Amino acid sequence: MHELIDHPCVQHKLAIIRDVETGHKRFRELAKEITKFVCYEALKNIKVKEVKVQTPIAEATCKKIDTDLVVVPVLRAGIGMLEGILELVPTARVGFVGMYRDEVTKEPVSYYERLPTQVKGGTCILIDPMLATGGSTAAAIKALKGAGAGQIVVVCIVTCPEGLELVEQEHPDVTIYAAAIDKCLDERKYIVPGLGDAGDRLFGTTH
Ligand code: PRP
Ligand code: URA
């Protein structure tokens, strides 16, 4: 299952982050801002508990988040989304999955994994700006499931039909939230029109 966040405020920022003229400072700011909007939607179904709060006037029945959330950025580019989601849920725990795409095969190569124990049975939000072939996201989900994750939600900025299909086929229990579902992949497996190499644009590097 996937959901496109087609809100004008998100789409406006997306137009700027896609622009080849947008430098890494602004790119970072926009990645954080877009993440916050997309995560706001992605977290709409998380568990809440009823609490009583004494206001200056009377007792109010309120709701508070009732789940130990674990946010998992896929290194490197997922780091660019971390601040955005932590502004929404500052008490979330953070785990890391390191993954890069092999330049030739385009298959994900796992190089790091550090997950808090709360992943076991917990709700995990996997963040990575690009879901292209879907290989990296599918492998990261597998790692989270291997660690005993309960519910898994994926938040990305740009994806495409090919990547969605792969992840949904391998992990039909996971919901994916995206700010854009682009047309296709090119021969180098980059999303078209996409926004280029998210890691390089976030960190001001070239490869
Ligand atoms: C990018 C991106 C995803 C992956 C998407 O990472 O951040 O992790 O590619 O591609 P896929 O869906 O085809 O697997 P990259 O491998 O460029 O590593 P980086 O984040 O370290 O730059
Ligand atoms: N990784 C990126 O950073 N961008 C793409 O378009 C595909 C994979």
Kindly report, residue by residue over 90-135, the tens digit of the pLDDT: 999 999 999 999 989 999 999 999 999 999 999 999 999 999 999 9
Which residues are tagged catalytic?
A: 101, 105, 197, 200
Q: Indicate the average pLDDT of the chain.
A: 97
How close is the Cα of 93 to the center of ligand 2, in Å? 26
Is 165's pLDDT higher than 80? Answer: yes
Among candidate residues 50, 35, 66, 43, the one with its CA nearest the CA of residue 128: 35
Which atom of ligand 1 lies closest to the CA of 200? 22
The CB of 127 under 6 Å from ligand 1? The reply is no
Instruction: Quote the pLDDT of residue 147.
Output: 97
Among candidate residues 194, 176, 181, the one with its CA nearest the CA of residue 3: 176
For helices 8-18 and 24-42, the axis angle rounded to 10 degrees is 150
* Digit-coded pLDDT (tens) for 43-99: 999 999 999 999 999 999 999 998 889 999 999 999 999 999 999 999 999 999 999
The CB of 98 under 6 Å from ligand 1? The reply is no
The CB of 131 under 6 Å from ligand 2? The reply is no
Overall residue count recorded for the chain in this entry: 207
* Digit-coded pLDDT (tens) for 125-161: 999 999 999 999 999 999 999 999 999 999 999 999 9
pTM metric for this prediction: 0.96
Residue identified by tokens 């690009």 is 130
**Tokens for 125?**
């939000």
SS3 call for 61? strand
How close is the Cα of 100 to the center of ligand 1, in Å? 6
**What value, to the nearest 5°, has the Cα angle with vertex 33 and ends 23 and 151?**
125
Say how far apart CA 23 and CA 112 lie, in whole Å.
28
Is 34's pLDDT higher than 90? Answer: yes
Is 191's pLDDT higher than 90? Answer: yes
How is residue 96 annotated by DSSP?
E
Say how far apart CA 187 and CA 56 lie, in whole Å.
62
Which atom of ligand 2 lies closest to the CA of 195? 6
The CB of 10 under 6 Å from ligand 1? The reply is no
SS3 call for 162? helix
SS3 content of the chain, % helix, strand, coil (to 5): 35, 30, 35
Instruction: Quote the pLDDT of residue 68.
Output: 86
Which ligand number lies closest to the CA of residue 103?
Answer: 1
Say how far apart CA 99 and CA 121 lie, in whole Å.
23
Which atom of ligand 1 lies closest to the CA of 100? 16
